[in-house]
Each structure stands twice: as C-alpha cells, then as structure tokens.
Amino acid sequence: MMEGSGWLPLWLSISVWDESFWLPHNVSRAQLENSQDPVYPRLKDLYFILPWTWAIYVLRLLFERFIATPFAKFLGVDCRPIQKAQQNVVLEKVFKDITTEPGKTHLNRLAKQLDWDTKKVIQWFKLRRYQDRPSLLTKFCESMWKFTFYLWAFSFSFYYLSKSPWLWNTRECWYNYPFHELSFQIYVHYMMEFAFYGSLIFSQFFDVKRKDFVVMCIHHHVTILLLTIAYVANMTRAGAIVLLLHDAADIVLELAKMANYAKWQTLCNIFFLMFAVVFIVTRLVIYPLMSIRSVFYESWEIIGPFKIWGFINLLLITLLIMHIYWSHLIIRMVFKAFHKGKVSKDDRSDVDSSSDDEDQSEQNAHAKTS
C-alpha cells in the first residue's frame, strides 16, 4: 500500500504522461501531432524555447547598450557611475558579517579603532550601502527594455486578436476544442512570451532587486507553467487573451519608472495614476470576469471537465491572488502620492525610488570633503 506522503507526487508524475491529463476524452496526442493541414501545437515546438530565450536575452543586452543608454543620456538621466566606499577590511567585515547600519556605540568604537572621525565612519557606511544599489542608468535601461517588449507584445497580440471572434466572444475559445489551428501569429506570440519570461527568470538575479522578489519569482514560474499548459493542451486562444490583459498595465508602469528616473515628476505621477487604473481594471475586473470565468465555467459547459482543467484554474487563481497583493501596494502608493504630491517611492522596492536624490547628494558631499 502506498504511503500517504508519497502518493500525490507519484499520481502527478503518472498523470502528466497520460494523454487524458492534457486533452479531453476521446482525443489523442497523435491527432494533433500528426496533422499537417491544419497544424496544431506540437510538443517538439517546446525544444525551441531555449534558443528563443537566449536570443531575447542577447537582444536585451544589445538594446540596453546601443539604444536605451544613448536615449537615457539624451533625456538627461544621471549616468555617473556610483562612487564606491574606500577599501577598509575592518569596516567591510562589520558590514558583511554584523550589520549594515551600526548603532552609535558601535560607530564610536569603530572610529576609535581606526583613528577616524565618527562622521567619516558614518559616511563610509552610507557609501557602502549605496554602492550595492543599481545606478539610475541601469534601472532606466531595464525599464526601457521591458516597456519596449510589453508595447510590442500588446500591440501585436491586440492586432491579430481583434480580428478573431474569440476575443469578443470567449465561448469561441472552446467550440471544436482542441482542434484549433496554430496560426503563425499565435506561434510567434507564444514563443516571444516564453522567451521573455524565461529570460526574466534568469536575469532577475542580476536585475533591480525589489521587496516582492519572491512574489515576482513565483509569478514568472507560474506564467511559464501557464504558457506551457496552454500550448501543450492547445488552449492558445484563452491563453493569448490572458497575455493581452497582463501586458496592458505593464506598458504604463515602465513609462512611469522611466519618467521617474529622468526626474520628470509630473509625468511620472500621471503615468503612475494611469497604471493604477489600468492595472485594477484589467487584472481585478476584466481578468476574472473574462478569462477565469471562461476557463472555469464556459469550458466546463462546452467540453466538460478533464484532468488539466482543475490545475490550470488553480494557476489562474494564483495569479489573481498576486494581483490582489500588488493592488494593495499600488493603492497604498496612490494615497501616498496624493498626500505628498508626488509618487515618492515604489513600495515593492528597496532601491527603486526617487530617494536616490538624497543618496546622490550624500555622495557628492562626501566627494567634496574627501
């Protein structure tokens, strides 16, 4: 008899290789794989995801160096390299092993040990904390890359989806399912989204670190999993709508960030308020009422339940929970913006804020006195 703790992974591993896990009853994988006209999504298509991902990552590096960086300089973004604290073995050990912000007693003890003025020790720790932060140029280039991709993805998907009946009537996502032809537009859209989120999973360890790092990591993996399920199970129509809804708000968010890094505060405020509205409307209203409702209710009504149905709904609801979490942060930022008259800090981020001005001033003051 199977142990209770081990039956679920075993059941899942067996189910994943079972055709009935992915497809409705009386439909075989061979029917989709062997069809030449029309063409349906094939498992071997997934082998191309890795080359697509590396291509997108290399494209990002080239874009940031040859397009985003010159554009940032043109806009007047502060491109000065971050000044590093002078090397000091004693203070570095304290910073890495004990604390990044020592108290008054500890500071006095360190000053006495090094024969430094206490203010100099305080300034060293400020510079040391600041040097681990990405520069404004780095953050601007990252945001400009994401803005460019989201703008392309949203425009491209809306262009071909607007000509498709299933965008306006989601029941069309399930009629004659899973025998939906894989068009060239859907193939390109999915491969690009696969590659983009795959590259983010890799680059998130080098990109700007935010407080919601773990949540974003979960988000990227859930997105990749949803894309895989939608492609393998040929739910590409419903999946394309989900992607369209998610890309809309991200365009405006990256615009707000770029305006913030360029010190265009009024424009930043406008874009951020636009982002808040678009995010809440698309992800807390349209997404559950259109996408989740279609996958949960309409698919059940038209084709009936099959094994993957419950799992994909669980993933869609997981995304919705993350949207609720982010909406809480966004609404809190909006209230702060009205109170202070500007969007002063991204609540998701330890480093992504306009408080960089203060840190830059501290750097400049230190440079003048050292």
pLDDT digits (tens, 9 = 90+) for 66-78: 999 999 999 999 8
Retrieve residue 111's tokens. 């000053």
pLDDT of residue 135: 86
Give the SS3 label for residue 349. Answer: strand
Among the listed residues 278, 277, 296, 300, the one whose alpha carbon sits nearest the alpha carbon of residue 288 = 296
Report percent pLDDT > 90 for the chain: 58
More confident residue, 241 or 336: 241
pLDDT of residue 14: 46
Mean pLDDT over residues 336-341, rounded? 75
Q: How many domains does the chain have?
A: 2
> Is the Cβ–Cβ distance between 169 and 298 less than 8 Å?
no
Residue 127 in any domain: the answer is yes
Q: Which residue has the tokens 């990405």?
A: 134
Q: Beta-carbon neighbour count of residue 250 at 10 Å?
A: 20
Q: Has residue 214 got a pLDDT over 90?
A: no
Q: Has residue 355 got a pLDDT over 60?
A: no
More confident residue, 176 or 341: 176
Find the CATH number of the domain harbouring 106.
Answer: 1.10.10.60
Which range of 25-39, 91-105, 122-136, 167-181 scores highest in mean pLDDT? It is: 167-181
Buried b (16+ CB within 10 A) or exposed e, 173-196: bbeebbebebeebbbebbbbbbbb
Question: Hey, which residues does 353 pair with through a beta bridge?
Answer: 345
Mean pLDDT over residues 192-204, rounded? 90
Residue 40 in any domain: the answer is yes
Domain membership of residue 101 as a residue range = 89-132
Residue 238 in any domain: the answer is yes
Q: What are the E-state strand segments in the chain? A: none
pTM for the complete prediction?
A: 0.83
Q: How confident is the model at residue 351 (pLDDT cuts 50, 70, 90)?
A: very low
Tell me the residue type at 82. Answer: I
Residues 147-169: tens digit of each pLDDT: 999 999 999 999 999 999 999 99
Buried b (16+ CB within 10 A) or exposed e, 112-138: eeeebeeeebbbbbbbbebeebbbbbb
Please provide the size of the chain in residues.
370
pLDDT of residue 12: 44
Same structural domain, 265 and 321? yes
Same structural domain, 267 and 118? no
Same structural domain, 156 and 286? yes
pLDDT of residue 74: 95
pLDDT of residue 8: 42
Residues 288-314: tens digit of each pLDDT: 999 999 999 999 999 988 888 888 999
pLDDT of residue 255: 97
> Is the Cβ–Cβ distance between 260 and 343 less than 8 Å?
yes
Q: How confident is the model at residue 249 (pLDDT cuts 50, 70, 90)?
A: very high
> Is the Cβ–Cβ distance between 63 and 148 less than 8 Å?
yes
Q: Has residue 191 got a pLDDT over 60?
A: yes
Same structural domain, 143 and 239? yes
Residue 358 in any domain: the answer is no
DSSP conformational letter for 86: P
Mean pLDDT over residues 174-192, rounded? 96
Among the listed residues 359, 367, 361, the one whose alpha carbon sits nearest the alpha carbon of residue 86 = 367
Residue 105 in any domain: the answer is yes
The phi and psi torsions of 363 (rounded to 5 degrees) equal -60, -50
Mean pLDDT over residues 74-89, rounded? 86
pLDDT of residue 149: 98
Same structural domain, 103 and 229? no
Same structural domain, 146 and 124? no
Same structural domain, 263 and 139? yes
Same structural domain, 44 and 101? no
Report percent pLDDT > 70 for the chain: 85
Alpha-carbon distance values, 71 to 8, 62, 97 (Å): 52, 13, 40
Residues 105-159: tens digit of each pLDDT: 999 999 999 999 999 999 998 888 888 788 899 999 999 999 999 999 999 999 9
H/E run at residue 118: helix 118-131
Same structural domain, 96 and 37? no
Helix axes 49-63, 136-161, angle to 10 degrees: 130
The phi and psi torsions of 53 (rounded to 5 degrees) equal -65, -45
Residue 153 in any domain: the answer is yes
Among the listed residues 246, 228, 240, 247, the one whose alpha carbon sits nearest the alpha carbon of residue 170 = 240
Alpha-carbon distance values, 162 to 57, 148, 159, 219 (Å): 29, 21, 6, 27
Residue 80 in any domain: the answer is no
pLDDT of residue 370: 38
DSSP conformational letter for 84: P
pLDDT of residue 163: 96
Same structural domain, 189 and 261? yes
* Cβ within 8 Å of residue 321, ≥6 positions away: none
Q: How confident is the model at residue 176 (pLDDT cuts 50, 70, 90)?
A: very high
pLDDT, averaged across the chain: 85
Q: Has residue 211 got a pLDDT over 80?
A: no
pLDDT of residue 234: 95
Same structural domain, 105 and 157? no
Residue 333 in any domain: the answer is yes
Lowest mean pLDDT among 10-19, 81-90, 182-191, 278-287: 10-19
Residues 256-286: tens digit of each pLDDT: 999 999 999 999 999 999 999 999 999 999 9
Q: Which residue has the tokens 């505060």?
A: 265
Same structural domain, 226 and 104? no
Lowest mean pLDDT among 9-23, 97-111, 222-236, 282-296: 9-23
pLDDT of residue 5: 42
